[in-house]
Amino acid sequence: LYGREEICHHPRPVLQIEVHSEDRAKTAFSLPSGFFEFTTLPMGLATSAATCQRVMKKILQNLCPSKCLVYLDDVIVCGTTVTELLDNLAKVLTRYQDAGLTLNPRKCKFIQTDSLPRPHRQK
């Protein structure tokens, strides 16, 4: 990766993934106030992280890794010019909108040039 980058952060991407109705019983728990089942994938299940990663890669298929990188709730949008970066960002945001996902604007960083950890930078 080189050039400008942007990071889009989901507020809780796992909680935006719907659990199929036939699988909701597998997420059941009880409290003194009653019996409950999750309708969206909760954080902390053994498969939550893998499911989140798989769903995000599916949503952004054909954009990874040339236009963006995905790691759980973080997406790095890449471009070598500002125009390319904004075009790639528009594609990513369109995919989010089509999938019904939301972002946390306070955690999004735009037009960053140094957002990758050192081992992942290329010069």
Query: 40, 19 in Cβ contact below 8 A?
Result: yes
| Total number of domains in the chain | 1
62-79 confidence digits (pLDDT tens): 888 888 888 777 888 888
113 in a structural domain: yes
Q: What is the CATH number of the domain that holds 104?
A: 3.30.70.270
10 in a structural domain: yes
What range defines the domain where residue 9 resides?
4-16+49-120
CA distance 89 to 12: 20
34 in a structural domain: no
Q: pTM for this structure?
A: 0.66
32 in a structural domain: no
Predicted confidence band of residue 116 (pLDDT cuts 50, 70, 90): low
